[in-house]
Chain A
Amino acid sequence: MIVSEQKPFQQIFDFVKDYNNILVMGCGTCMTVCMAGGENEAGVLSKQLKLAARQENRNIEIEELTLTRQCDREFFDEDATEKINRAEMVLSLGCGVGVQYIVELFPDVIVRPGVNTKFFGANISQGLWSERCAGCGECVLDEYEGICPIARCAKSLMNGPCGGSSHGMCEIDPENTECGGQLIYDRFKRLNKLDKLMEYKPAKNWSTARDGGPRRVAREDMMFDEEKENN
């Protein structure tokens, strides 16, 4: 899933400085699961904004709305449309995708981000998430037996760990970050395939990653006929 973290409250409060009618929008998918911007967080943040505004003798109207997903047109129903159009400003607790998608659907509405979108990651234990995928567009996990050198090495080294690997940890953060190269080595050792690590991995083609420009995926078989013409 996409993992985010709520922005510092003061920054969010600065966003609402000039607005008195705000819609706080949670997102029911990734942001709910990573506890950064689901229904619960939207509720807490709305209350905080009300209380903080009250401290400044300001009267602000806040509505809360959590959609199943902010990145899918079908969840923007009539109720949502009405609430979004009514608000002076929408504070989206969706990831960066959600914020932009609202802007696309409602070009006249001011939208501000309530979270910092971090990475594609997994839930490691309660309250802890960790990055696993860099979205490079051409998966190499088959070559590394399921551990990604791009996402899990600070330098994305594809031919083995650098000298900064110590006790299984990466020198940039020895307390928390494992050395991706060590993980790959351990995995190949466990599978009795260490000889495979001798293979030279050539320079990666990054054109499938963000480096190739903004990407899109088109599935003609899934499109409506009129959309096919537009695409």
Chain B
Amino acid sequence: MKEREPKIIAFCCHYCAFTAADLAGTMRQQYPTNIHIVRLPCTGKVHVNMLLQAFVDEADGVMVAGCEIGSCHFLEGNARAVKRVTLAKEKLQEVGINPERLEMYYIPASEGPLFARSAQEFTDKIKQLDGSKEAETDKGEVPDQDTGQGKGKKDKSQCCK
């Protein structure tokens, strides 16, 4: 069976993570092609509503990638972002989605390889989470290990939009 590629949204800040992603490309560093990068002026722009919208729009995982702590171009945008990511994780947990599907990363502009590695690791983790869920679904077992409470993500074709 061919492995399904998960859909991953990466909210990247313009000054660091996005530049690093660009650099990774220039350096011909391989990273998964299923990552959809959304460029933000700063991760301080991220809010919970936006993160949850990504999941409503059928993302399997969401990365938020900003500058290193202490080197935000807007001083503390990334520090704010991580608080919102933490809250969004709680909100995901409440609805029965594994909060590990959302992660905060700090990637300096010069670290193309770190971006590629983080993207790869995150994709692998999401695949693993999806895999364990499919295994559960195959066995017809509830509750889902993924969430510990939900019944597993439904077939996307039936999703409401």
Contact = CB atoms under 8 A, between A and B. Distances in A.
- Tell me if chains A and B make direct contact, with any CB pair below 8 A: yes
A57 B151 contact: yes
A40 B49 contact: yes
Interface residues on B, range: 20 to 34
Interface residues of A, number: 20
Contact of B160 (A44, A48, A54): A54
Contacts of B56: 47, 50-51
B53 interface: yes
A203 B94 CA distance: 48
Contact of A57 (B48, B97, B154): B154
Given A51-B55, A51-B97, A61-B160, A56 B49 contact: no
B27 interface: no
A206 interface: no
Given A51-B52, A52-B96, A53-B160, A44 B91 contact: yes
B55 A57 contact: no
B160 A55 contact: no
Given A40-B48, A48-B52, 6 more contacts: A13-B95, A40-B47, A53-B160, A55-B154, A56-B150, A59-B160
A54 B158 CA distance: 9
A60 B158 CA distance: 11
A217 B150 CA distance: 49
B147 A55 contact: yes
A43 interface: yes
A10 interface: yes
Nearest to A40: B49
Given A44-B48, A44-B49, A47-B49, A55 B55 contact: no
A9 interface: yes
B48 to A, nearest CB: 5
Interface in A28-63: 40, 43-44, 47-57, 59-61
Given A51-B55, A56-B151, A9 B94 contact: yes
Contact of B150 (A55, A59, A61): A55
A54 B153 contact: yes
A52 to B, nearest CB: 4
B12 to A, nearest CB: 21
A102 B152 CA distance: 36
Nearest to B156: A54
Nearest to A12: B94
Contacts of B96: 51-52, 55
A60 B159 CA distance: 9
A59 B161 CA distance: 9
Nearest to B144: A55
Interface in B45-72: 47-49, 52-53, 55-56
Contacts of B91: 9, 44, 48
Given A44-B91, A47-B53, A50-B56, A55 B48 contact: no
A26 to B, nearest CB: 12
Nearest to A55: B150
Interface string B73-106: 0000000000000000001101111000000000
Contacts of B52: 44, 47-48, 51
A53 B56 CA distance: 11
Nearest to B147: A55
Given A48-B95, A50-B56, A55 B49 contact: no
A53 B48 CA distance: 19
Contact of B158 (A9, A40, A47, A59): A59
A50 to B, nearest CB: 5
A95 B58 CA distance: 33
Nearest to B50: A43
